[in-house]
Amino acid sequence: MNPLRVHEDVVVLVPGFLGFSIIGQFPYFADRVPGVLGALLREKWGREVSIVAATTVPTGPLQARILRLAAFLGRLAAAGARRLHLVGHSTGGVDAQLLMSVRPFWGGEWSGSVADARRAVVSVATISAPHFGTALLESSAARFLEQGSLCDALPFLRAAGPLLSLAVKDMSQLDQLLNLNAKQLPTVWRFVFSVVRHHELLEELRPAAMEGVRARTAPDPNVKLTCFVSGADTVAGPRPSDPFYSEIVAFCRIGAQLPPTPAMRANIERLCTAPPSLWIRDPATAPYSVDAGTSDGVVNTARQLLEGAELGGIVLGDHADVIGDYDRFDVASEQLVSAGIFRSGASFSDDQLLELYRRVAAAV
């Protein structure tokens, strides 16, 4: 097939906060995600499907990210796509869903080119998306990253200490990230400078700000919307949580100590009464009880669900597990072949990844 052409059905993987599809040799979505999802959809539909990873504005404001995504969808339509299916992780799920809202959250109507791109979208599936923001951004550590305040430096350094210790103990992931050739360096530096320069998105993803967005817009009723939520508080699983993960989970809990809104109360009730069949977890790890502070280390679980959306599954896993970044071992050698970003103790593995994307394929 011509490399500039795609199949009529295209699944677009929309990345989160950092916005890249691949940097250096490190893909945002692990390579097994498009492989598994593509195989499941070909079996389901009996026809070929293209799985493509989008890029967006690294840590840029929501409006810029949404318009960038719309432009990308327009290029896919020009390349032969007739039906677009958006699968967004984290802030990428927010981008995808807000693009498929009745009207832009910033007011007015969708412009001609954006409206044209929207017409091809059939479904949106969000995974671990901060639809109502994240309480992590109410923590002192987050304020240090955003504002550089010295009074907030101590909590940040306390959390970063275990992370640095993990990096020293396990250099495989760091080596994978830094194994760059000379041609890749300009792209990587542009990405790094963009992350350092932009802080707008941090403010927009605060709970109060995102709740304001939700009050100003509504999902397009003509587009199927499915939300997959994740959580992995410091659970007593077969493998204990690492100190870094315990620290950031604590930040999510501290930031969540606000009076719950009606939407949060409804989501907590919905998740607590969900049937066991919706859970995606290692059988050896017990389900968690959802409250306002429960999180996947980055986003509070109850903030990942929208009213009117189908609840596709409740994942017992952390924020990176769901995109394929978890510890994987070679069966023959019993050696670690890829390292996860977090070590939550949820025991998320290939079995749970396959089940998650089986359900994503059913939702597409």
Supply the pLDDT for residue 35. 93
Single out the residue of 122, 132, 95, 133 nearest to residue 19, CA to CA: 95
- Longest Cα–Cα distance in the chain: 59
Could you tell me the pTM of the whole model? Answer: 0.85
How far is the C-alpha of 245 from the C-alpha of 319, rounded, in Å?
Answer: 11
Single out the residue of 340, 347, 345 nearest to residue 323, CA to CA: 340
pLDDT in tens, 266-310: 999 999 999 999 999 999 888 888 999 999 998 999 999 999 999
| Structural contact between residues 19 and 65, judged by C-beta atoms closer than 8 angstroms | yes
| Exposure on the CB side of residue 181, measured as CA atoms within 13 A | 2
How far is the C-alpha of 102 from the C-alpha of 98, rounded, in Å?
Answer: 9
How far is the C-alpha of 60 from the C-alpha of 57, rounded, in Å?
Answer: 5
What confidence category does residue 175 fall into, taking pLDDT thresholds of 50, 70 and 90? Answer: very low
Backbone angles phi, psi at 71, to 5 degrees: -65, -40
Fold of the domain spanning 9-137+200-363? Rossmann fold (3.40.50)
Supply the pLDDT for residue 113. 92
DSSP-derived 3-state class of residue 81: coil
| 181 CB-near residues (< 8 Å, 6+ apart) | none
Give the tokens for residue 110.
């969708």
Q: What strand order describes the sheet that includes 279-280?
A: 50-53, 9-14, 83-89, 121-127, 224-231, 310-316, 279-280
How far is the C-alpha of 84 from the C-alpha of 121, rounded, in Å?
Answer: 5
Domain ranges of the chain: 9-137+200-363
For the CA atoms of 139, 140, 141, 143, the dihedral, rounded to the nearest 10 degrees, stands at 100
Q: Angle at which helices 62-78 and 91-99 pack, to 10 degrees? A: 70
How far is the C-alpha of 283 from the C-alpha of 41, rounded, in Å?
Answer: 26
Supply the pLDDT for residue 152. 47
DSSP-derived 3-state class of residue 192: helix
Amino acid occupying residue 258: L
How far is the C-alpha of 338 from the C-alpha of 324, rounded, in Å?
Answer: 10
Distance between terminal CA atoms of the chain? 24
What confidence category does residue 360 fall into, taking pLDDT thresholds of 50, 70 and 90? Answer: very high
Mean pLDDT of 91-106: 96
Instruction: Look at 36-50, 64-78, 214-228, 281-295 and tell me which has the smallest mean pLDDT.
Output: 281-295
Supply the pLDDT for residue 106. 95
- pLDDT > 90: percent of the chain: 57
